[in-house]
Amino acid sequence: MGYAVYQDFNVPPWIERWAGYGVPAECDWPGCAVEIDRGLDYKCEEHGHYADPEDDPDETWIEVEGCGLFFCYKHQRDEFFTQHAGIEPKEDTLEWVRHVMTDETWQRWRDENPISSARMQARLEAGK
């Protein structure tokens, strides 16, 4: 079993969203509409790198905790890594919401999660 689809609890509690390489999404960077998925390739996770040799001649390994959001490769690069603070996660795409609300394999989830299901249905009906 992999990380194809799972609920993303690394967002504020008022946002319900899904993650995994099976979940279509947009880059979380504000104003960026690049289509990605919410798989580990795009997740801002713990990141290690060597300190700049000019600043640290002993080449110290530095671990930096990621923000947990999902970014296209352009906005995931090292120079942006520390600039993710304050970025709000984007909602699930309507493509994903439509899939969850109409695909027969999601019926059990819809039945077991009536409140979340109602929110997703309202979003789908509003087209936003």
Tell me, what DSSP letter sits at residue 9?
Answer: -
CA pair distance 108, 66, nearest whole angstrom = 33
Whether the Cβ atoms of residue 75 and residue 29 lie closer than 8 Å to each other:
yes
Contact 3, 16 (CB under 8 A): no
pLDDT score of 50: 59
What mean pLDDT do residues 51-74 have? 74
> Rounded to an integer, what distance in angstroms lies between the CA atom of residue 19 and that of residue 93?
11
- Using the predicted structure, report yes or no on whether residue 78 has a pLDDT greater than 80: no
Residue 60 has pLDDT above 90, yes or no: no
Please work out, in degrees rounded to the nearest 5, the angle formed at the alpha carbon of residue 23 by the alpha carbons of 76 and 64: 30
d(CA 83, CA 92): 22
* pTM for the predicted model, two decimal places: 0.79
